[in-house]
């Protein structure tokens, strides 16, 4: 019995000398790259024919049908941006077409309904109806669509210093936009904040501030020479300068026709995607090439470990602006949904312009080349 007790005690002592099993080590998860998809469209240029086509019997306006054919593509993007060429100061200020534009609030309603996340408003027509139109436009968006970002116009100096940042898929996307001028108009003294003009000192400061609170920087530039299919020297110069500042993507507007796409390298070795001009998205201009626009699409991959940004899957889908002989049935058509029967009913076709599928396809291919999206 005594031996048994001693044996048991010996086993207990040996067991006590053994190390207790260590808890399993928790491996730290490595942050994975994050992808954000983008879509950008060109000028939303609201001529009289456009806003009259949206007038309802009760005097209100509805432009949702105008964007119905492109709504699925817009909604599919994580970030969708359009250049609101004309200020939407509302009917209360009196609607107006070229040369001094003022558009209905309902344009903004339709853009929000289509899924647009960001509108650039710094254009040469931003001040056509003065300060009140800018305030009205900003107020309408902020009251009704707080999720929609507006860049390029402001209601105060404090607002002009506030950086616009969208959060998508764990990535912070910083947004800015600027215009070359205001068609000879001057901003009131002390209210220069109303419209963001192209000024390299200001842009450099804005980009530096934006970089502190965002992972990706995208800048809209209203620039270039109207109706020219190639970027001018100033566009190329500014594009390179913006790349040197570290900007990731430049979205060009104003020429009203398509211009090429280019990948350029900044002085720090960073890559910048440049859309020199995406043409007109909506307009009632009277030349066939100005009916052609493009929805640019691309993905951005952000690596949280080192802050590296990669740009992939860049392509453009051509669009055609349609309105019939009566100035009705106004719609933005993806070229893939446009056919020659539709072309034959286009008002400009009846006026002698070539509005055929082949014309738009060939022109887009000539300008955009390898970037043009394959037709399904």
Q: Quick one: pLDDT at residue 12?
A: 41
Residue 375 has pLDDT above 80, yes or no: no
Q: Note the pTM of the prediction, 2 decimals.
A: 0.92
Q: Where are the domains of the chain?
A: 34-371
Average pLDDT, stretch 240-256? Answer: 99
CA end-to-end distance (rounded Å), the chain: 90
pLDDT confidence tier of residue 5, bands split at 50, 70 and 90: very low
Q: How many percent of the chain have pLDDT more than 90?
A: 91
Residue 1 has pLDDT above 90, yes or no: no
Q: Quick one: pLDDT at residue 23?
A: 61
Q: What are phi and psi of 133, to 5 degrees?
A: -65, -40
Could you give the CA distance from residue 318 to residue 298 in angstroms, rounded to a whole number? 14
In the DSSP assignment, the letter for residue 230 is S
Q: What are phi and psi of 288, to 5 degrees?
A: -60, -40
Per-residue HEC secondary structure of 153-172 comes to: ECCCHHHHHCCEEEEECCEE
In the DSSP assignment, the letter for residue 240 is H
Average pLDDT, stretch 232-258? Answer: 99
For residue 43, give both structure tokens.
């000028």
Residue 334 has pLDDT above 70, yes or no: yes
Residue 132 has pLDDT above 80, yes or no: yes
14 to 3, 11, 20, 184: CA distances (angstroms): 17, 5, 12, 94
Residue 365 has pLDDT above 50, yes or no: yes
pLDDT confidence tier of residue 45, bands split at 50, 70 and 90: very high
Q: Quick one: pLDDT at residue 333?
A: 99
Q: Where are the alpha helices (DSSP H) in the chain?
A: 2-17, 48-53, 71-76, 105-114, 130-144, 157-161, 200-213, 233-244, 340-344, 347-350, 357-368
34-371 CATH pick, 1.10.3470.10, 3.30.465.10, 1.10.10.10, 3.60.21.10: 3.60.21.10
Residue 168 pairs in a beta bridge with 171
Could you give the CA distance from residue 167 to residue 173 in angstroms, rounded to a whole number? 6
Q: Quick one: pLDDT at residue 371?
A: 96
Residues in the chain: 376
Q: Quick one: pLDDT at residue 24?
A: 60
In the DSSP assignment, the letter for residue 262 is E
Residue 376 has pLDDT above 80, yes or no: no
Q: Quick one: pLDDT at residue 226?
A: 99
Average pLDDT, stretch 27-35? Answer: 85
Question: What's the mean pLDDT when you consider all of the chain?
Answer: 94
106 CB-near residues (< 8 Å, 6+ apart): 54, 60, 61, 62, 63
């Amino acid at each position: 019995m005594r031996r048994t007790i001693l044996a048991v005690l010996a086993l207990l002592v040996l067991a006590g000398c053994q190390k207790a099993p260590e808890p399993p080590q928790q491996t730290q998860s490595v942050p994975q790259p994050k992808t954000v998809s983008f879509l950008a469209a060109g000028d939303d240029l609201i001529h009289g024919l456009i806003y009259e086509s949206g007038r309802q019997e009760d005097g209100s306006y509805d432009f949702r049908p105008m964007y119905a054919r492109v709504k699925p593509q817009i909604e599919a993007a994580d970030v969708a941006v359009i250049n609101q060429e004309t200020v939407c100061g509302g009917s209360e200020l009196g609607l107006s077409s070229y040369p001094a534009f003022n558009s209905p609030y309902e344009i903004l309603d339709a853009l929000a309904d289509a899924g647009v996340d960001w509108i650039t408003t710094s254009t040469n027509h931003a001040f056509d109806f003065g300060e009140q139109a800018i305030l009205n436009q900003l107020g309408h968006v902020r009251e009704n669509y707080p999720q929609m970002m507006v860049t390029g116009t402001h209601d105060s100096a404090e607002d002009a210093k506030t950086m616009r940042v969208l959060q998508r898929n764990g990535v912070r996307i910083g947004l800015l936009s600027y215009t070359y001028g205001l068609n000879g108009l001057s901003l009131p003294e002390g209210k220069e904040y109303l419209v963001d003009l192209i000024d390299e000192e200001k842009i450099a400061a804005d980009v530096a501030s934006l970089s502190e609170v965002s992972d990706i920087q995208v800048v809209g530039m209203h620039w270039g020479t109207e109706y020219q299919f190639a970027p001018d020297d100033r566009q190329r110069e500014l594009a390179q300068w913006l790349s040197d500042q570290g900007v990731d993507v430049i979205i060009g507007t104003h020429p009203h026709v398509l211009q090429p796409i280019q990948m350029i390298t900044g002085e720090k070795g960073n890559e910048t995607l440049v859309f020199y001009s995406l043409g007109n998205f909506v307009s009632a201009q009277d030349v066939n090439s100005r009916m052609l626009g493009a929805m640019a699409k691309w993905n951005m991959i952000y690596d949280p470990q080192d802050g590296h940004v990669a740009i992939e899957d860049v392509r453009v889908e051509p669009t055609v602006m349609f309105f019939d002989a009566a100035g009705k049935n106004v719609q933005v058509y993806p070229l893939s949904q446009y056919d020659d029967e539709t072309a034959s009913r286009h008002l400009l076709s009846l006026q002698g312009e070539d509005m055929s599928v082949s014309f738009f396809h060939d022109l887009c291919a000539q300008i955009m080349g390898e970037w043009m999206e394959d037709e399904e």
